[in-house]
Amino acid sequence: MNQITMTGSRQAASPATHRSAAIALRTALANLPMIALGLLLGAAFLTGHLAATTAGLALAGLSLLVTVVVLVFARRQLRADPRSASFARLAAGLAIATLMMALASDALLLTAAWIVTGRLMAGLIGHVGEWSEARDAARRANISFAIGDLALVGAIVILSLGAGSSDIAAISAAVPAMVGPQLTLAAFLLVIAALARCALPPFSNWLMRSLAAPTPVSALMHAGFVNAGGFLLIRFAPALEAVITARSALFVAGIVAALVGSAIMLVRSDVKGALAASTVGQMGFMLLTVALGAYPAALWHMVAHGLFKAWLFLGSAGTICTAPTRAKSLPKPWPAIIALATLAAATTLIETQHADALLPVGLALTALLCALVVAMRAMPRGPVGLFVAVTPIVLIALNAAALAIMTGLQPSAAQPLVSPYAQVVLLSLFLAGWIWQQQVVSGEKALPRPLYARLIHAGSTIPA
């Protein structure tokens, strides 16, 4: 009797054992790509193909910090998702590939890591595979990333052949001796690769469609992925600086993206949609800053925006806004006062000969002054009110200190693209547009209906 019982137990346990072994095997196989990326990163370090640069360390630090936070957040938010393990693997692989891209001293290694990050992000965007919206979003992302990848490969091939080496330092040193047309083509291809990765028009469609992905994926995009276009252009800054037409095209593209992103954000009522549109605008500002040659300001923008926007996305899942639209605007005459204060600060920068990054610094100051006004209006009495009032002032001081530190670590371009006075003119135009935006938000003015319809459907009706 005991023997029969034991035999039956072994037979019953056998299928369960087989299932456990099969699951373990599938898990091991699924982990192989991530393990391979880790081994490749280690091999690159041991063979001397990694180098610490200011831009690389900024991107690597941003990626590591945001990825760790997102993985901790996703453990709870995706605990009922059967694909949560797949998300964790893709997120970890994306972080490893981003580290490799950020620290690579060889252009071919950087390009390979760039391509891998694109494929991993497309996989994350299509996380909910049975949902047609997610599949379509992943398809659009793959198309945009493929265009950017091909542009980067073309640029790196041209630069490597011209320098006789794929080492980034050697390429930078050889740029002055390169032939004009080939260098021009390489610079424009680098700009295209950056536009595709930063989701600037005409590539912004993939970012607006990526809202079909879970919230942790949206936050993870800012962990060095969507910001990587600025890093790429700073890493190959000598090639960009040598071709003034490429810098000018980047400058115009940044202005267009800033305007388009801000306009879409103005009409989107969904939180994630507004945040995604804001990213398009912010990436426009970042690349505009790169085009101006203010690399320290662009790097600090990359880090600060990545951290802040990832935090906003992680909090968007529990956000419910019941305030009327008018409550989101500043009352008169605050917009005009802030604009005048910004222009006065810009004049001071010109007088003190610190106006290389006048436009982006002026826009950042405008945002911080807005935060200060909002804090003052919502300030309660007592210690809490004091804390609310002091916070924006502390933020202004921290941003100024961080920008000063970044300026000491990362030099700007030798030749600025636009004179300080031209930047004042552009800053005045942006401030005028911002004041008009405040009037629209407050209900004083309204967008034309065709424009409103076009903006509110941006990202869903524009063909890939």
Number of structural domains found in the chain: 2
Q: Cis peptide leading into 181, omega within 30 of 0?
A: no
322, 356, 376: which is the final residue of a domain? Answer: 322
Domain hosting residue 108, numbered range: 41-322
Residue for token pair 């085009």 = 291
Q: Average model confidence (pLDDT) for the chain?
A: 83
Residues 425-429 have a mean pLDDT of 89
Are the C-beta atoms of 332 and 376 separated by less than 8 Å? no
Same domain for 85 and 184, yes or no, is: yes
Q: Cis peptide leading into 333, omega within 30 of 0?
A: yes
DSSP state of 418: S
* Res 305: pLDDT: 87
292: its two tokens: 């101006």
Same domain for 335 and 289, yes or no, is: no
Residue 393 has pLDDT above 80, yes or no: no
Residue 426 and residue 117: Cα distance in Å, rounded?
35
130: its two tokens: 């049975």
Residue 206 and residue 204: Cα distance in Å, rounded?
6
Helices (H) and strands (E) in the chain, counts: 19, 0
Q: How many CA atoms lie within 13 A of 55 on its CB side?
A: 23
* Res 14: pLDDT: 61
Q: Quote the distance between the C-alpha of residue 97 and its chain's center.
A: 16
* Res 255: pLDDT: 92
Same domain for 217 and 244, yes or no, is: yes
* Res 36: pLDDT: 85
Residue 75 and residue 63: Cα distance in Å, rounded?
18
331 three-state secondary structure: coil
Residue 462 and residue 204: Cα distance in Å, rounded?
10
Residue 461 has pLDDT above 50, yes or no: no
Residues 88-96 have a mean pLDDT of 91
272: its two tokens: 């994630």
Residue for token pair 């291809």 = 189
Q: Is residue 347 part of a domain?
A: yes
Q: Is residue 464 part of a domain?
A: no
Q: Is residue 198 part of a domain?
A: yes
Residue 58 and residue 299: Cα distance in Å, rounded?
7
For 66-83, write each residue's pLDDT tens digit: 999 999 988 888 887 778
Same domain for 296 and 243, yes or no, is: yes
Same domain for 305 and 346, yes or no, is: no
Report the predicted TM-score, pTM, of the whole model to 2 decimal places. 0.86
Are the C-beta atoms of 213 and 83 separated by less than 8 Å? no
Give the percent of the chain with pLDDT over 90: 34
Q: Is residue 174 part of a domain?
A: yes
Residue for token pair 């009495």 = 381
Residues 54-68 have a mean pLDDT of 92
322, 353, 377: which is the final residue of a domain? Answer: 322
Same domain for 300 and 418, yes or no, is: no
Q: Is residue 410 part of a domain?
A: yes
* Region of poorest pLDDT, from 279-288, 421-430, 437-446: 437-446
SS (HEC) of 75-125: HHHCCCCCCHHHHHHHHHHHHHHHHHHHHECEHHHHHHHHHHHHHHHHHHH
Same domain for 159 and 191, yes or no, is: yes
Higher pLDDT, 65 or 3: 65
Among 236, 285, 213, CA closest to 256: 285
Residue for token pair 């276009």 = 229
* Region of poorest pLDDT, from 28-32, 206-210, 260-264: 28-32
Same domain for 114 and 150, yes or no, is: yes
User: What angle (nearest 5°) sits at the alpha carbon of residue 52, between those of residues 47 and 56?
Assistant: 115
Residues 174, 178, 181, 184: what is their CA dihedral angle, to the nearest 10 degrees?
Answer: 20
Which range has the top average pLDDT, 40-54, 104-118, 336-350?
104-118
Same domain for 253 and 186, yes or no, is: yes
Contacts of 350 by beta carbon, 8 Å cutoff, 6+ apart: 358, 420, 421, 424
Higher pLDDT, 203 or 17: 203
Same domain for 301 and 335, yes or no, is: no
b/e code 303-331 from CB counts within 10 Å (16+ = b): bbbbbebbebbbebeeeeeeeeeeeebbe
Same domain for 289 and 366, yes or no, is: no
Q: Max CA-CA distance within the chain?
A: 99
Q: Is residue 459 part of a domain?
A: no
